[in-house]
Structure 1
Amino acid sequence: MSASEKTGTWLRQWIEAHGGAAGTVHVRRGEDMVLAAAVNIPPPVVEIVRVVPRGKGMAGLAFERDEPVSTCNLKTDTSGDVRPGARAVDAHAAVAIPVHDGSGQVQGVVGIAYAGERAMDEQELAVLTGEAEAVPLSTG
């Protein structure tokens, strides 16, 4: 199994384990995040999020802020954190979680979206964050 297949397999299993509907893994390349895996993301959205600049959209903001970025509803979010393309995903609640290397630098971002509207409490976010750190990152 190639490195990119491992990333995709991990993502599918992680989304399923947490009752998610869709998700992405981005890997840091300089000041951008490059898409490494996507599950249940419409092709037009895949093209939009193939490269995400630091500070743009949920993945770019998680990278810039070095903290999870979440929304209760992708479709109605007015915070400015959710980009228009994300509204095309058939999901509502979502979170983008930064992933770190051994020196504590952000090396990627893992995203999960849920079918229904919901708020994530600190305990759930801590579990998701801890597990996201185990993602095998690759753009291979």
Structure 2
Amino acid sequence: MTRELTSGLGSADWLSALLADFDCQTGTLHRADGEWLDLVVAQGVPDQLMPMITRIPFGKGIAGAAAATREPVELCNLQQDLGGVAKEGARQTKVAGSLAVPVFSSNGEVVLGTLGIGKVVPYDFSDAEKERLAEVACEVARAWEA
């Protein structure tokens, strides 16, 4: 299904299909520009938060942490995160379970962006779900590099 999902990469329809596949209510795709992440497409994010997620530095918030650490970042309950990854504004999304993965270049050396999904209920993403989202991120990278 990943090829089908990425055929309209960057469109609202593409993101809707991805969210439906993971039974999620929110999603973002950011593309890296140096040490910054620029929003490509978002769904389910409240309008008042859009200015905060349009351009994110590496290391800030869930997407920025995924880009900086080069690892998936998961929060079972964003509303109760005590580890400092989630910023106060992120709680306004009403998302609880969230997952962001880096989008790597085909050689795996460069972070091209991040892909994030979220549920409105507390949720632990399974290893299989993390792998599936990472596979979609690989398809995103292939589309961007084409």
Q: Given the two structures, how large is their TM-score scaled by the length of structure 1?
A: 0.89
Greater RCO structure (CA 8 Å; 6+ sep) = 1
Provide the aligned length of Structure 1 versus Structure 2: 136
Cα drift, residue 7 of structure 1: 3.8
Q: Give the gaps of 5 or more residues in structure 2.
A: 1-6
Match of 1:28 in 2: 32
**Is the Cα contact below 8 Å between 2:8 and 2:14 reproduced in 1?**
no
Residue identity opposite 2:134 in structure 1: T
Match of 1:38 in 2: 42
Matches within 5 A, 1:51-130: 51-104=55-108, 105-130=110-135
Distance 1:70 1:5 in 2: 23
Q: Given the two structures, how large is their TM-score scaled by the length of structure 2?
A: 0.85
Q: Which has the higher helix share?
A: 2
Distance 1:6 1:26 in 2: 9
Confirm or deny that 1:12 pairs with 2:16: yes
Identical positions, percent: 29
Distance 1:83 1:135 in 2: 26
Distance 2:11 2:83 in 1: 30
**Is the Cα contact below 8 Å between 1:94 and 1:112 reproduced in 2?**
yes
Distance 1:128 1:95 in 2: 9
1:48 to 52, 66, 77: 52
Q: Give the gaps of 5 or more residues in structure 1.
A: none
Distance 1:6 1:34 in 2: 12
Cα drift, residue 6 of structure 1: 4.0
Match of 2:137 in 1: 132
Cα drift, residue 90 of structure 1: 2.6
